[in-house]
Structure 1
Amino acid sequence: MEDFSEYVGLSRPTVSKYFNDPGSVRRKTRERIEAAIKDSGFRPNIFAVNLNRRRTNILGIIVPNSTDPFYMALTRRVELIANEAGFLAFVLSSDGNPQIEERAIETFKSMNVAGAIIAPLGAQSHHEKLLSLGASIPLIYVDSPLNETSPFVGTNNRQSFHLIVDYLCRSGEPPCYLGMPPVNTNATTRELAYVEAMQRLKMEPVVLPIEKVETWDFEKFGYDEMLKFLKNGKKLPTNTVLCANDRVAFGAISAAYHAGLKIGRDADCDLRIAGHDDHPLSRYACPPITTVAQNYNEIGRLAMALLMHKLGESSHATAPLPAGERILLNAEIMLRESA
């Protein structure tokens, strides 16, 4: 920057002012700087510039799996909003590994990010590291909260499970429940939501016993667990299975297929299987999965709106922000052939 200031024949504060906000300098000065940029090819190092600022224009995003369509859709929404607000969104994946999540946290600290949106690993997360980061910059959690007080935007599991359980009970045998690995708080909250929904309908909840393994390979988990219940001609307590999420349902449907069962809601079908989340690929499963839809776009928008509010950038909000720092969105049922 010193060399470029000398090259263009202006003071460094003037040049810095231009790079922070081109419209803040006079037109002739701006034209002079832009001509010098074109001639010299100079570009400021964005990371060096941000390290020297009291507050940067970099936002961090941590997700458990960058290739999962749910997180891809969520981060795409966040990146678009960040860009429109003049921020650079930097996405890191923890790959379901607490050590990699910790490294991502340390990376964001070293980058001096202004704030971050995090889908935590939950039970495996380094809570102290995240709490320490949250003490210095605003953090918004999505998908599952870190604890009961952390700022969070996600789906109202009580509403969504009541919706799907009510439909399954009205349309056939009441569902038993196939849970998910205990990798984040969704494992507990969704099981409790299923039990509560069944009890509200005066039905006996049936939670299938599962292996307590901490794995993010939900499809394999659903396949292995369902196969345990179906092998050797065993019968499930009911012919309807509600899975904790669609990825578990993918595996459960595959296991049922290999056990020779026909999945669906027709009279000649052996088993109904439903899910939760409306994973982008659930409509293309065989058969397409009946599920409840999380609104990825709205989760992303509200998470960014809450983060912008905490950063004092509320002018970038596209709609009024709900009160409080824990925003739960209602889900919509998606009726398809699997149940």
Structure 2
Amino acid sequence: MDSQKIRTMEEFAALSGISRPTVSKYFNDPSSVRDSTRSRIERALEQYDYRPNIFAINQNRKLTKTIGILVPYLADPFFAEIVRNIEWRCIEAGYLPILFSSHGEQDLEVNALETLKSLKPAGALLAPLGRASDLEALKKFVDEVPTVIFDSDVEVGETFVGLDNFQSIGLMVEYLCSTGSPPCFLEMPPVNPNARKRRQAYRQTMEKLGLEPQIIHVEQETWDFERVGLTEGKRLIQERLIPSDTVLCSNDRIAIGLLAAAYESGLRVGRGPGCAMRIAGHDDHPWSRFTSPSLTTVAQDYESIARGSFEALFVLMEAGFSSHERNATYFEGKLILRSSA
């Protein structure tokens, strides 16, 4: 490897003996140059260990090779798994994924949108905060960048891909009712449309079965769901405020906290003899199979949501994102039976 430091594409072109326009053409699309030329460039890249500034290249393009991804809380393994699937699809298609997390904060979400727009992405995949989002900022962004909304179905943009919460919650409620006491529903203040839809789906399914919905609402608005499940769960257990021995939590992270609360309160969770309560969740959080007992839940189809979002984005990019008709794709959940319920 040559020890000379190459700083610009002009320097690389001069040292490799290949014209600057041809080198630029290669970096824009390697398949656009002849095989023999591509081999020469790639040998020179190995020799001089040169890598171009992809962001600088993108600023000179009308259509870049970057795709922006924004999620509300990357520390949540649910979003980490979705993003992992999306990133690989971007890379396999020859695009550079650029990831942002809003960390549950509106101003960080707005800043991420502004930064992403300045990078001139070919498109974007956004999972908005939901209730805390600045809808005007979101609308302005999707008016300028081909965008698919996933997970949180806010009324922004032309395309949404996510879960059918009414199907998935209905599936869980019917299972719990058929195998034991009808469940009560434990929720926090809804941070996005999914939480509201899950409450509605629970209520509708219980009423369809001729049963009285029993909703436990805890007033803590935060993304630290496990902590709320633990602290509020212990309080609810100690004060005997849980109206059923079966609890369906709005998501797995709350359920994981409630499992810990039951353990610390001396209650055995599960389906067998000697169990004081059943606990179920929703999402098939990557850690839910490793709780004790393992958590019964409804799995979201991570792969299909990632694939559907990515494919929908390519349709928008190719069409110039001007269909003016909103399209929504909802994938069904799958019941995952484990030891907790």
- Normalising to structure 2: TM-score of the pair? 0.89
Between stretches 16-25 and 99-108, larger displacement belongs to 16-25
In the other structure, the counterpart of 2:334 is: 332
Matched residue pairs, number?
328
**Residue of 209, 224, 228 corresponding to 1:221:** 228
CA distance in 1, matches of 2:156, 2:118: 28
> How much has 1:335 moved relative to structure 2?
1.0
- Residues 33, 208 of structure 1: CA spacing in aligned structure 2 closer, same or farther, 3 A cutoff? closer
Taking a change above 3 Å as real, the CA distance of residues 175 and 31 of structure 1, as seen in their structure-2 partners, is closer
What is the 5 A alignment of 1:125-144? 125-144=133-152
Unaligned runs of 5+ in 1: 314-322
Q: Give 1:214's aligned amino acid.
A: E
Question: For 1:208, what is the secondary structure of its paired residue?
Answer: strand
Aligned to 2:98: 90
- Choose from 24, 30, 40 the match for 1:16: 24
- State the secondary structure of the residue aligned to 1:312: helix
Shift of 1:330: 0.7
Q: Are 1:271 and 2:277 an aligned pair?
A: yes
Give 1:56-95 correspondences, 5 Å limit.
Answer: 56-95=64-103
Among 262, 267, 271, the alignment partner of 1:256 is: 262
Matched residue type, 1:75: V
> Does the 8 A contact of 2:135 with 2:156 survive in 1?
no
CA distance in 2, matches of 1:209, 1:157: 19
1:137-169 alpha-carbon deviations (Å, 9 max, x no partner):
111122211227652211111111111100111
Q: Distance in 2 between matches of 1:40 and 1:290?
A: 55
Q: Which runs of 5+ in 2 are unaligned?
A: 1-8, 320-324
Aligned with 1:238 (options 229, 241, 244): 244
The structure 1 segments of at least 4 consecutive aligned residues displaced by more than 6 Å after TM superposition are none
* 1:1-339 to 2 correspondences below 5 Å: 1-8=9-16, 10-147=18-155, 150-211=158-219, 213-232=220-239, 234-312=240-318, 325-339=327-341
Q: Is the 8 A contact 1:290 1:337 kept in 2?
A: yes
C-alpha distance after superposition, 1:249-288 (max 9, x if no partner) = 0111222222222211123211111111111111111111
2:275 aligns to what SS in structure 1?
coil
Mapped to 1, the partners of 2:111 and 2:326 lie a distance apart of 30
Q: 1:196 to 1:18 in 2, by over 3 A?
A: same
Distance in 1, matches of 2:187 and 2:93, equals: 39
Which residue identity lines up with residue 88 of structure 2 in the other structure?
Answer: L
Report if aligned partners of 2:229, 2:254 keep a CA contact under 8 Å in 1. yes
Q: Quick one: distance in 1 between partners of 2:30 and 2:284?
A: 44
Tell me the TM-score normalised to structure 1 length: 0.90
* Contact preservation (8 Å) 2:253, 2:285: yes
Are the equivalent residues in 2 in contact too, given 1:181–1:218 (CA < 8 A)?
Answer: no
After superposition, give the CA deviation of every residue in 1:189-247 in whole Å (9 maximum; x if it has no partner): 11001001111111111111321x32000111122322232224x25221111100110
CA distance in 2, matches of 1:129, 1:235: 41
Structure 1 residue 4 displacement after superposition: 4.0
Q: C-alpha distance in 2, partners of 1:256/1:35?
A: 62
Structure-2 change in CA distance of 1:36 and 1:169 (3 Å):
closer
CA drift of 1:35 comes to 4.9
CA distance in 2, matches of 1:31, 1:248: 54
Deviation of 1:99 (Å): 1.8
- Taking a change above 3 Å as real, the CA distance of residues 176 and 117 of structure 1, as seen in their structure-2 partners, is same
Q: Secondary structure at the match of 1:159?
A: helix
Q: 1:150 to 1:214 in 2, by over 3 A?
A: farther
Post-superposition Cα deviations, 1:71-100, rounded to whole Å, max 9, x if no partner, equal: 121111111111111101111111112222
**How big is the shift at 1:12?**
3.3
The amino acid across from 2:291 in the alignment is: A
Paired position in structure 2 for 1:316: none
Q: Distance in 2 between matches of 1:47 and 1:148?
A: 28
Query: Structure 1 residue 10: deviation in Å?
Result: 5.0
Give the fraction of aligned pairs with identical amino acids, expressed as a percent: 46
> Aligned partners of 2:157, 2:24: CA distance in 1, in Å?
40
- Larger mean CA deviation between 40-49 and 153-162 belongs to 40-49
Structure 1 residues 294-313: Cα deviation after superposition (integer angstroms, max 9, x where no partner) = 11111111111111121229
Q: How far 1:15 sits from its partner (Å)? A: 2.6
Counterparts of 1:326 and 1:250 in 2: how far apart (Å)?
A: 31
Once residues 144 and 22 of structure 1 are traced to their aligned partners in structure 2, the CA distance between those partners, rounded to angstroms, is 37
Distance, in Å, in 1 between the alignment partners of 2:35 and 2:158 is 46
Q: Secondary structure of 1:337's partner?
A: coil
- The code of the aligned residue for 2:260 comes to S
